[in-house]
Amino acid sequence: MDGHTFVAELDRKNHELLRRLAPAQALTAESGGDLSTTTLLRIALKNEIEASEIAALWMAAAGDIELKLGLARQAGDEAKHYRLIEERLRELGDNLAGFNPLGEGYSPLFNFLRGLPTDVERVAAGQFTREAIALVKNTQFIELCERAGDSPTARLYREVIQVDERFHHEMGAKFLSQLAFDAPSQALARAARSRTLELAEELQTLAYRKKKIHHAPGC
Ligand SMILES: [Fe+2]
Ligand SMILES: [Fe+2]
């Protein structure tokens, strides 16, 4: 199949899968854990710094100028998200003294993404799939903030961060339709996408088991 058909099919499959993530409404009741905005925003900082770093690494490795420029923009966007979230945490009274988002090391998802050897795998995993997951998680996070009466955080996510994350996902779809043009490249993309979904799910399960945290915002 051609690249566009391939991407449309993968997109449909991702949507189906991601719909199964529990809706935010169920969270508070189910988790009984720490769903405070500051806890979740600290996790968001780690996600944003990892997303920025991955985009920067991939910019250097990318085979074409358009992709390099797209990744450069993304690295900047994720760094901007980091700063905005940091600012919001300060407003919420968390001064972040001594906090290092990478203090416990990089996530398994980051290490997997860093090891991907080709542009087609990187775009399928990082922009196309990871950003689709982020869009779903952020929608849930926005709901959570709204129900907690925290409209400034909800607005930051709805009006700034989500707009960029959508752009990253769509950029992923555009490049993937060019890069996944034949059976071998499509097989690579499919495998990278599946592993990304698995790792995202493992991370979520782990966070839930260890800290009762569900649906931290993504990037
Ligand atoms: Fe992003
Ligand atoms: Fe982000």
Average pLDDT over residues 94-116: 95
The DSSP code sequence of 119-130 is HHHHIIIIIIII
Q: How confident is the model at residue 210 (pLDDT cuts 50, 70, 90)?
A: low
pLDDT tens column, 36-90: 889 899 999 999 999 999 999 999 999 999 999 999 999 999 999 999 999 999 9
How far is Cα 35 from Cα 25, in angstroms, rounded to an integer? Answer: 12
Entry pTM: 0.91
Judged by its nearest atom, the ligand closest to the C-alpha of residue 135 is: 1
Q: How far is the CA of 85 from the centre of ligand 2 (A)?
A: 10
Q: How far is the CA of 59 from the centre of ligand 2 (A)?
A: 16
State the CB neighbour count (10 A cutoff) for residue 195: 18
pLDDT at 34: 64
Q: How far is the CA of 49 from the centre of ligand 1 (A)?
A: 10
Q: How far is the CA of 120 from the centre of ligand 2 (A)?
A: 21
**Residue 85 DSSP one-character state:** H
Q: How far is the CA of 21 from the centre of ligand 2 (A)?
A: 20
Q: Is 160 helix (H, G, I), strand (E, B) or coil?
A: helix
Q: How far is the CA of 25 from the centre of ligand 1 (A)?
A: 24
Cβ atoms 23, 83 nearer than 8 A: no
Q: How far is the CA of 169 from the centre of ligand 1 (A)?
A: 7
Q: How far is the CA of 104 from the centre of ligand 1 (A)?
A: 22
Q: Percent of the chain beyond pLDDT 70?
A: 88
